[in-house]
Amino acid sequence: MPCDLLVFAPHPDDAEIHCGGTIASQVRRGVSVVVIDATRGELGSRGTPETRAIEAAASATLLGLSARENLALTDGAIPHDDPAARLLVIDAIRRHRPSTVLCISGHARHPDHQALATLVGGAVKAAALHKLTTASGAPAIANVRLWFYEAELPLSPSFLVPLTAADWRIKLEAVRCYGSQLHRAGSKEPATSIADPKFLDWIDARGRVWGHQAAAEYAEAFVGPEAPRLGDLRGI
């Protein structure tokens, strides 16, 4: 089923944390959005892959996604140059036929974030190679735009997506779907950066800072190998 926007995330919750507001804003505008999670998050310090799958499905419904899939690559070991893994990504791009792909930025600490950025970056171009076949047999697709959304390290962005308070509320509700990963008073599970009680405050502060730059209540940051195409300079 074709979609407008295809979002790749290393683990269930990364799309929500780093570009959930943008997803919400695009769905509000009638854009069809599909999220592809690369792994099941089985290496996560808290929760289980089964719980993460339930949480991801709940978040997908809340965000209004057209579909959500999981490539079931190995958590903690996403390959950046494995031909088989690249074919999985290419096949997803060809099946969903988006005009634009979003992927987590490789400017990150997490090795899975770094690796997925490289893997998807190569797959977007390879998806146009007509003699390269994939499992679904979907035809080649060219001219797909690629942008990277901000990961855990700050970007010097190519552009910002302004967001309303309503977009941001949906984003935070989607993040809160992942209760297994967030702070829970009295939990005896290992401490993590996401389980820090101030984690959501950091997410909110980052959105407000970018929002100030974008003359909006909130915003999210993106960077890419391509130049933005502007038809109306009043939008700058």
Which class for 156: exposed (0-12), middle (13-18), buried (19 or more C-beta within 10 A)? exposed
pLDDT higher than 90, residue 46:
no
pLDDT at site 228: 86
The answer to whether residue 128 is domain-embedded is yes
- Examine residue 66 and state whether it is found in any structural domain, yes or no: yes
pLDDT tens digit sequence for 94-145: 999 999 999 999 999 999 999 999 999 999 999 999 999 999 999 999 999 9
In a domain, 188, yes or no: yes
Beta strands in the chain (DSSP E): 5-9, 33-39, 67-73, 100-104, 145-149, 159-163, 218-223
Going by C-beta distance under 8 Å and a sequence separation of 6 or more, which residues neighbour residue 204? 168, 172
With respect to residue 234, please indicate whether it lies within any of the assigned structural domains.
no
In a domain, 232, yes or no: no
We report the CATH number of the domain holding residue 192 as 3.40.50.10320
The structural domain count of the chain equals 1
Look at residue 148 and tell me if it is in a domain: yes
Give the per-residue pLDDT at 221: 98
Within its chain, how far is the Cα of 5 from the centroid? 11
Mean pLDDT of all residues in 155-168: 96
DSSP character for 209? H
User: Range of 212's domain?
Assistant: 5-225
